[in-house]
Structure formats: C-alpha cells, structure tokens
Amino acid sequence: MKTIGLLGGTSWVSTIDYYRYINQFTNEKLGGDNFARCIIYSLNYGDIIEKNKSNDLEGLLTILTDACTKLQAGGAEAIILCANTMHRFADQLQSKIDLPFVHVAIATATEIKKQNLRKVALLGTKYTMELDFFKDKLAEQGIETIIPEAADRDFIHASIFEELGHNIFKPQTKARYKTIINRLAEAGAQGVILGCTEIPLIIKQEDSLLPVFDTALIHSRAAVEFALNQNMER
C-alpha cells in the first residue's frame, strides 16, 4: 500500500470527506482493520484567498509547492490535491515534485465514459468553470463540457466561498443549484460534474435529474485504486 499525501484545507470541510472516503474505500478493498496510509497537509485557506484576490499565481504556486514538498518529506508516495480549483497548478506541480499526482479530471472522465456520456455540465468555482485545465482533460477523452450562464456562474462561485466552504447550507441555495442543473439539461447536458468538492455537500444524486459525478468521491476512490496498485491511470 502506498502512502497518500493529501493536500487539503481548500476547504477543510471537503478535506474531511476525502479522509473519510479514502479510509472507507481502503477498508472495502482490504477488509478487517485495514485503513489508508495517508498524510494530510492542511493549508490556511485565508492565505489562498489573499493570493487569489491579488491574482498572485506565483505566490499560490509557491504555497502549493512548499506543501507538496513537505508531504514528500513526510513519506507521501503520491499527491492528492483535495480541491478541483487547485488542479489549475497540477501540471506545474508535477514538474516540481518527483511524485505522481492522481488527477481529479482524469478520474472523472473515466467515470463519465463508463456511462457512455459525451456531453456534460461542469459546476465549480469560476476558475474551474471558465479556465481550461479541467475541460481539456475531458476533451482528451472525447467529452464535451458546457458551463452555466454568467449570472449562474457568479452565484455558484459566491456560494462556494461564502456558504459551503464555511459549512453553511441554505435551502434557497440548494433550490438555485437545482434550477441551474435543469437549465443545463435543457441545453443538452447528459450528466453534471460537481466540480468543486464543496458542492456535493449540498447537492446529491436525488437532487438532480441528470447523473451526478461527485468529484470528491471519484477522486478519493481513484486515490485508493492508485495506492493499492489497481492500475489506475493518473
């Protein structure tokens, strides 16, 4: 079993789910009293927010590189970025850290292909929805991505940072998410990616008429497959 290095704190709320899922899936595979070998480096989210506000991408990369280096020094044999948005730096981090990264978008594409879907909606922070780092990984697998209209993207982004990341879940926020998903279904989406690890805290499969792809769940399972040498592509 490889030791998994979890880079969390972005946010702490969803990092808890990663830790829980990874241990549950490891136990499902191995049984008995077996659980994951893992190390968590939890960032101060306030530092990340400040760098985002000033668009200090080099500063963000420095923070993430330092965290990955410390995970490696602590014995991690693979890195899991416990946030979709942080994967905008995944390729750069991979070039700096001599450890494999299990990429959330590649793992998600694998699950989408299992259901033979070709067009999916992507929800997440504005960075995840509007930049190409996630969509390009899907496109490499022949999967088309659509995103919500601008006003809905603004709403989703704000809800993640002002509510979900603080463990706040409002009925009206959930209702708006459901409306957004319905609009995307009307636009031709065959499934919906919950591309921020906080969104599955408020939206479940029963809330969507489309198949839901919970990236925290998918990514955690992929991490366990990798750690247990189950031929998981990274």
Rg (CA), the chain: 17
Domains of the chain plus CATH, in order, are 4-104+217-227 (3.40.50.1860), 105-214 (3.40.50.1860)
| Mean pLDDT score across all residues of the chain | 93
Q: Half-sphere exposure of residue 10, counting CA atoms within 13 Å on the CB side?
A: 24
pTM above 0.85? yes
- Name the residue among 132, 120, 37, 41 with its Cα closest to residue 90: 132
Report whether pLDDT(234) > 70: no
Which percentage of the chain shows pLDDT scores above 90? 85
Contacts of 133 (CB under 8 A, 6+ apart): 87, 88, 90, 91, 105
Kindly report, residue by residue over 19-71, the tens digit of the pLDDT: 999 999 999 999 999 999 999 999 998 999 899 889 899 999 999 999 999 99
Least confident window among 86-95, 111-120, 187-196, 223-232? 223-232
